[in-house]
Each structure stands twice: as structure tokens, then as C-alpha cells.
Amino acid sequence: MDTKKRDSMIKIFKFGVWAGGMGFILALFSVVFFLVDGRGIGLTDLFNVGITLFAFVYFRQGLRKLRDQKE
């Protein structure tokens, strides 16, 4: 893989890690808020927590693989 393509993929994966992490934190805060407030949580809230955690882990592993590749 050429350097330019690798660098652009690293930027995309860095953004994916950031977005997945921030989404997970916000989804977790909303679930905790709903539970504390007494409203209860729905299936969509739990799905949001799971999918953002999956995105964070997926992009983090991809970024790790990209950084470990030899030039």
C-alpha cells in the first residue's frame, strides 16, 4: 500500500475511533440518565450503546493494524 493511501486511511480510522468513542460515552450517559430519572430505557438505547462500542473497537483494531504495517 502506498504511503499516501495509508496516511489517508489512518486519518479516516482515527476519526472512526474518535466518533465511536464519543458516541459510546454519550449513549452510556443517556442510558444512565434515563435509569436515574425513572423513565426506563428502550431497545433503541441499548442498540445505540452496542453499535457505538462495536464501531469504536472495530476502528481501533483497524488503526492498530494500519500502524503496524511495514512501508
Instruction: Please give the pLDDT value at position 63.
Output: 93
pLDDT at 1 > cutoff 80: no
**Model confidence over 9-68: pLDDT tens digits?**
999 999 999 999 999 999 999 999 999 998 888 899 999 999 999 999 999 999 999 988
Instruction: Using alpha carbons only, give the angle 30, 32, 35 rounded to the nearest 5 degrees.
Output: 110
**Model confidence over 52-63: pLDDT tens digits?**
999 999 999 999
pLDDT at 71 > cutoff 70: no
Distance CA 24, CA 56 (A): 8
Residue 24 CB neighbour total at 10 angstroms: 20
